[in-house]
């Protein structure tokens, strides 16, 4: 399968991906902090309230910086427990409960920062009655968290479209299928409106990621909407071996098995990458590797 222009752009983006993601949230915090500080100060001057110029800046920046620290929690949580059309009714109560917990964390963090700065200025910061204050802040925070979640999911959707998203081949409209649908030999990859076929034998390893399983093919990840258990049942066990709760490998791509402490191991692959092997699956991997065409030196 030749590399499409979209995949080429995605390959060039990968080294900058982490910097872009961090930079996006930092830049968003800076822009919001500056804009909100100015507008709050203008409102204070219009209403004739007596606050020093640094106070509204402290209110907005303390809130923004604590929210910036919450971003990784949102990203990791939604990656582990993604929200989709087929599970939103089941996941929504947990998401709402999580929004309450994050809002409380946000309020405690920003009040702590404000209290310290006010104390350094020889003053006392009064948050006001906590029940009313928490309720007021939650009404604001839930909108901010929803916007944050929307940004994260739109970005993930764009990445999936950019790099390609895999799917199992379905039954043809007419005639018998050319291959077994229970044990697929190929996967359909859609990238920006174009379809490609990826041979199952070209898959180097698989990684579970929420409701998806990422198929690693020639350095690219193609998310497949499935669970690891479901896809494991459909792949050839003589070729693909489970080595971890979240990983499977193609035995033909394994170069060596490096023992680690506590009975775990690190599996080195032909492309130079490595994936973890848990103690539970290590013996099965060694057995499967020994039964292959050539034993893997350990």
Residue 134 confidence (pLDDT) above 90 = yes
Residues 155 and 12 in one domain: yes
**Residue 281, token pair as written in the block:** 């699956």
* pLDDT, position 116: 97
List, for residues 1-49, the tens digit of each pLDDT value: 445 554 567 778 888 999 999 999 999 999 999 999 999 999 999 999 8
φ, ψ for residue 191, nearest 5 deg:
-130, 110
Residue 238 confidence (pLDDT) above 80 = yes
Residues 41 and 97 in one domain: yes
143-168: average pLDDT? 90
Virtual torsion, Cα 18, 21, 25, 30, nearest 10 deg: 70
Structural domain including 43 reads 5-163
Given a contact cutoff of 8 angstroms between Cβ atoms, the answer to whether 87 and 211 are in contact is yes
Residues 156 and 12 in one domain: yes
Nearest to 264 by CA among 247, 241, 283, 248: 283
123, part of any domain? yes
Nearest to 269 by CA among 290, 251, 295, 282: 251
φ, ψ for residue 229, nearest 5 deg:
-65, -40
54, part of any domain? yes
Which helix (H) or strand (E) covers residue 265, if one does? Answer: strand 265-269
Residue 183 confidence (pLDDT) above 90 = no
pTM here is 0.72
* pLDDT, position 298: 45
List, for residues 74-122, the tens digit of each pLDDT value: 999 998 888 877 678 888 999 999 999 999 999 999 999 999 999 999 9
Residues 238 and 134 in one domain: no
pLDDT band at 65 (very low <50, low <70, confident <90, very high): very high
């Amino acid at each position: 399968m030749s590399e499409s222009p979209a995949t080429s752009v995605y390959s060039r983006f990968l080294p900058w991906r982490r910097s872009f993601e961090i930079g996006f949230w930092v830049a968003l915090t800076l822009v919001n902090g500056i804009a909100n500080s100015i507008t709050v100060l203008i409102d204070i001057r219009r209403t004739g309230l007596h606050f020093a110029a640094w106070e509204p800046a402290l209110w907005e920046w303390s809130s923004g910086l604590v929210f910036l620290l919450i971003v990784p929690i949102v990203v990791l949580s939604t990656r582990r427990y993604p929200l989709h059309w087929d599970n939103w009714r089941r996941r929504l109560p947990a998401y709402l409960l999580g929004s309450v917990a994050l809002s409380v964390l946000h309020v405690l963090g920003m009040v702590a920062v404000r209290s310290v700065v006010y104390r350094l200025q020889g003053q006392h910061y009064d948050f006001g009655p906590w029940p009313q204050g928490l309720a007021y802040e939650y009404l604001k925070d839930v909108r901010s968290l929803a916007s944050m979640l929307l940004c994260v999911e739109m970005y993930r959707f764009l990445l999936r479209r950019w790099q390609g998203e895999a799917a199992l081949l379905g039954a043809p409209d007419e005639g018998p299928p050319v291959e077994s649908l229970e044990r697929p030999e190929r996967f359909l990859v859609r990238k920006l409106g174009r379809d490609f076929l990826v041979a199952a034998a070209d898959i180097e390893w698989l990684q579970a990621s929420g409701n998806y399983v990422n198929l690693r093919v020639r350095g690219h990840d193609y998310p497949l909407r499935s669970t690891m258990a479901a896809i494991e049942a459909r792949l050839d066990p003589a070729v693909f071996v489970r080595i971890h709760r979240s990983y499977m490998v193609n035995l033909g791509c394994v170069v060596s098995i490096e023992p680690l402490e506590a009975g775990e191991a690190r599996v080195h692959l032909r492309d130079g990458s490595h994936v973890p092997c848990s103690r539970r699956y290590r013996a099965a991997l060694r057995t499967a590797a020994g039964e292959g065409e050539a034993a893997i030196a350990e």
